[in-house]
Structure 1
Amino acid sequence: MTNVYSFEGVLVFSLLVICTCAYFRRVPKLKQWLLSEKKGFPGIFYKASVIGTRLHIPVALTCMLMGVYVLFLK
């Protein structure tokens, strides 16, 4: 189990948020409902979705490497 207060936990949590928001950006109703705000606290999810769509290859590689690390090395 990953601890949120460790560096690995923060990295896993941020990758999950980025990947989830990038998926929400592809679904029209979810995009309109969840990612319409660009400022404030909900703006974090909008920015994460932009990162996930623009940097999809590095994010996917990082997710795979983190999965291997959590499953086999930790």
Structure 2
Amino acid sequence: MSAVFNFQSLLVVILLMICTCTYIRSIFPNFIGRHRIGWKGIFWKMARIGERLSPIVSASCIIMAFYIIFV
């Protein structure tokens, strides 16, 4: 089943993309930072969400991990 049709898988994919984009931006700031518009701007927006809402994103990752392991 595709991640688009399963809500839990969609949340996992979104959380992983946010964490990955934030990590890549912290190591290579110009790689994601220069593409702010267009379809590549999605990665820049995900990196900004990860930077500004890092406590909420990390709590969501922990909750999702416990949910996947124990449920």
TM-score greater than 0.5 by the shorter chain: yes
Please report the TM-score for the alignment, with normalisation by the length of structure 1: 0.86
Match of 2:19 in 1: 19
**2-side partners of 1:34 and 1:61: how far apart?**
24
Identity of aligned pairs, percent? Answer: 36
Q: Name structure 1 gaps, 5 residues minimum.
A: none
**SS in structure 1 at match of 2:25:** helix
Aligned residue in 1 for 2:39: 41
RMSD over aligned Cα atoms: 1.5
Runs (4 or more) in structure 1 with deviation over 2 Å come to none
Query: 5+ unaligned residues in a row in structure 2: which ranges?
Result: none
Q: Distance in 2 between matches of 1:35 and 1:8?
A: 29
Number of aligned residues: 70
